[in-house]
Amino acid sequence: MLYKPDWSEAQRRLTALWHGALCERPCIQVTAPLPDVNLPPAPEPADDEARWLDPAYLAAAARRSIAGTWWGGEAIPSMLLQGGWVNCLGGRPHFTPETIWFEQRSVDFNQPSAFRHDPSSPWTREYRAALEALCAAAGWDDFLVGSPGGLPANDLLAQQMGVEAFMLALLDQPAWMERAITQGARDQIAAKHEYQALIRQRHAFWYGNAGWMPFWAPEPYNTTQSDVSCMLSPAMYERFVVPELDIVGADHGALWYHLDGGDARQHLPRLLTLPYLRVVQYTPAPCEPPNGPEHLEMYRMIQAAGRIIHIDLPAENVEPLVRELNPALLLLQTHCASREEGERLLEASRGWV
């Protein structure tokens, strides 16, 4: 890997992590800025849609961002292609400098669900071109492109129906909603396979998380979430979300799950019974303390079930967690002010286990 000369060593450690084993020190992903990177700045995108989908801009931005970063420990050179959100089951996306959101849609419950993947939409075609450009910029293995980004059907329906309408429909039209969510999940899996086939013959890293919460495993796996689950009871989660998780988990047989905030933690006991669940990533809500010692009880619960915990946290919280948790089921992601600081952290971590 061009931007990570020690990639084979990182692969060895991440493979051991995947199997619940420890190699000398815990797996820690640490990044730091590299000064004096001799690359021109990426061209300013023409508008917000181009910021997320313009192939030339994204390829240039990826090269500059990745080349300007030190990827220490198990950190994986990559860039999040958030434009994958436009694979939105037929919705209409809108773009801002910070994110992508979707127009709300009316629903006719007397008709089959219209929440279906549309491979011919202009945004789908734009995303395909962006993915191809990023793959070309990465070459065979310069950096990780990974699986196409996207949202699960349950979150997409909530965003496009509006949360209040979505919640009422779960109560008033449960059978219709079950069918819509599971069909949407199958469509999202089919779209992911289409994009993976596009890059699989030209890029080594056709699966894996890129950018926001990068993760690599020695075998293919899927990723998903349910942000709307913070508003669902355990019974509703069982009926409307778990069937989608079963579809996604069955596709590759292993699942990395993003658990978003304290209100979603009520579903953790059920999640930990799913045989295909391998990794839980936790993001605290803005009202919660950052990942660190305040959440030890939850981390221990995840590890006691034999699952890996993957968390993004401040550098000062790395040592306390390594000392308190099972390092064989732990992947910590952090950032340091300099490469030298990051190297000291990695070396010190050998003495914490």
Angle at 279 between CA 296 and CA 329, to 5 degrees: 55
Angle at 231 between CA 237 and CA 103, to 5 degrees: 105
Q: What is the pLDDT of residue 278?
A: 98
**First CA to last CA distance, the chain:** 29
Summarize the confidence of residues 142-164 as an average pLDDT.
94
Residues 6+ apart with CB under 8 A from 74: 10, 13, 14, 17, 27, 28, 29, 331
70-113 pLDDT, tens digit each:
999 999 999 989 999 999 999 999 999 999 999 999 999 999 99
Q: Do residues 244 and 185 touch, judged by C-beta distance below 8 A?
A: yes
pLDDT higher than threshold 90 for residue 171: yes
Concatenated DSSP letters of 202-249: T-S--SSB-SSS-B--SS--EEEE-GGGGGS-HHHHHHHTHHHHHHHH
List the beta bridge partners of residue 256: 223, 279
Average pLDDT, the chain: 95
Q: How confident is the model at residue 49 (pLDDT cuts 50, 70, 90)?
A: very high
Summarize the confidence of residues 238-259 as an average pLDDT.
96
176-197 pLDDT, tens digit each:
999 999 999 999 999 999 999 9
311-333 pLDDT, tens digit each:
999 999 999 999 999 999 999 99
pTM of the model: 0.95
DSSP code of residue 329: G
Domains for the chain: give ranges and CATH numbers.
7-352 (3.20.20.210)
Residues 6+ apart with CB under 8 A from 232: 170, 226, 240, 241, 267
Q: What is the pLDDT of residue 40?
A: 77
